[in-house]
Structure 1
Amino acid sequence: MDKIKQKKSPKVGVVFGGSYGIGEATAKLLMEGGTKVTIVGRNAERLAAAAMRINGNVQIAVADALDRNAVLKVFEATGPVDTVVICVAGVMAIGLFKELDLNLLRTSLEEKTIAQLQVAQVAAQYMKPNGSITFVTAGSAGAAISTAAGPGAVSGALECLIPTLALELAPVRVNAVSPGVIDTALWDFIPDETRKSFLSNHAANLAVGRIGQAIDVAEVIELVTRCGFITGSIYQVNGGSHLTT
């Protein structure tokens, strides 16, 4: 007697900060792997443009990660989810510690650390068993880099919570991916020539001999979301910068 095969429902994924860079590249990979993806950001036009570039069946949702009600509405619309990726970033408080603007650091903590934690806290109510939550932090959390005390504190606060969240939210898996210097729009605040010089000099000091691209990080995020035996871990994607700093 022929067995009737039941068609599996596609996985459901939500990418916060999905309108450019690492978030967009991750959304594209997840979509290509069969996940029904919603990308979330604050700017509707940027989200629409990202959806066009992804060129697939991607939903968009406009929401500020600091607005709890807006985040709730995103998950109310998606229903139970398998994968949540949190690429939310904010202003960077860069500078030597003695001169660091602590008010700017406070804003940075709010826009990245608190924002990411709020998304995770809301998402935890909607996760399917054995789903995954992946934070995107930054390599400055674990490196001694002059002028990067601010970004290090912001991402370090997230990374130190990963093991605890993995225990508390189990069987949902919780991990972080920690990118090094990646060539994305995040660096657009630097004048073009200065930016090019900075990226070129950084690439010359990396073991892999090139600067990172969004897809490099997205591939690791996609792996982490897919592998059911990974939780409570932080993955560095930095071209080997940790070997020399």
Structure 2
Amino acid sequence: MNAAFENKKVIVIGGSSGIGLATAQLLANSRALVTVTGRDENKLKAVHQTTGIQTQAVDSSDRTALDAFFSTIGKFDHLVISVSGSKGMGNFASLPLQELRAGFEGKFWPQLNTLQAALPYLNENGSIVLITAISSVAQKPGTSGLAAINGALELMVPVLAQELKPLRINAVSPGVVDTPWWNFVPEEAKQETFKQFTAHIPAGRAAKATEIADAVVFALGNNYMTGSVIHCDGGFSL
């Protein structure tokens, strides 16, 4: 348990599964007052029933809904934005650009929408963590679209750290993580993809969501860290 989070209000956007949910659970275990959002009411209901964490259905692509949500929450201390989409992967020559546009609509714009809507309510000594992806720097074939989406977010982080000070902002950039994000791929194909991606990385395997969540909680709680991108990728980008 990290006593620094006790009774602190933390919002985890996109926290109904995967890295977001693992982060919410770690924070709740440290006695933070956590609220998780997502679009799927059934998933959110299951999260509340199994963990006791408060949940709220919010579509992060809907700015009006975000404004209403944050005005209801009021002042709070920490924000994790774990919203993501599943579009934008593939070799560029054959990648439909509407798929790449959908990738930006699924992750880039919802993250910025959320961040801007939250700013009036974040305590100035609080913090923000964006969940990006190591595709931003890994330079692997088939990830140019993902590199564009995640790289765009990461390039903003150090600039925002200066604009928003003393509020802190960082990003955590994971590699291959075994989470429901991969459910758009059939199980056999998913395991083959994991095998290919992890064959040459030092860690030799996909990450667990809890391992990435550890990095997120570190970034939230370290009062001297801002404007940074933490690569928690098992060496994928080496």
TM range (shorter): over 0.9
Q: Deviations over 1:66-114 (max 9, x none)?
A: 1112111221222111110000011321221112211111121122101
Q: How does 1:68-217 map to 2 (within 5 A)?
A: 68-217=63-212
Task: Identify the residue that residue 33 of structure 2 maps to in structure 1.
Answer: 36
Q: Deviations over 1:182-217 (max 9, x none)?
A: 001111111111211222343332212222010010
- The separation in 1 between residues aligned to 2:220 and 2:174, in whole angstroms, is 16
Offset at residue 59 of structure 1 (A):
1.1
> Of 213, 222, 228, which residue of structure 1 is paired with 2:223?
228
- The separation in 1 between residues aligned to 2:180 and 2:108, in whole angstroms, is 20
What TM-score, normalized by structure 2, do the two folds share?
0.94
SS in 1 for 2:124: strand
Offset at residue 153 of structure 1 (A):
0.5
What TM-score, normalized by structure 1, do the two folds share?
0.92
Task: Identify the residue that residue 3 of structure 1 maps to in structure 2.
Answer: none
SS in 2 for 1:207: coil
Is structure 2 residue 61 aligned with structure 1 residue 62? no
- The separation in 1 between residues aligned to 2:95 and 2:196, in whole angstroms, is 25
Q: What is the RMSD computed on CA atoms of the aligned residues?
A: 1.4
Offset at residue 9 of structure 1 (A):
7.5
* Paired letter, 1:10: N
Q: Is the 8 A contact 2:78 2:127 kept in 1?
A: yes
SS in 2 for 1:31: helix
- The separation in 1 between residues aligned to 2:62 and 2:200, in whole angstroms, is 40
State the identity as a percent: 38
SS in 2 for 1:160: helix
- The separation in 1 between residues aligned to 2:204 and 2:41, in whole angstroms, is 37
> Of 15, 18, 22, which residue of structure 2 is paired with 1:21?
18
Q: Is the 8 A contact 2:86 2:184 kept in 1?
A: no
Q: Deviations over 1:34-70 (max 9, x none)?
A: 21011000111111112334x23x1111111011121
Segment of structure 1 superposing worse, 91-100 or 107-116: 91-100
Give the number of aligned pairs. Answer: 234
* Paired letter, 1:68: R
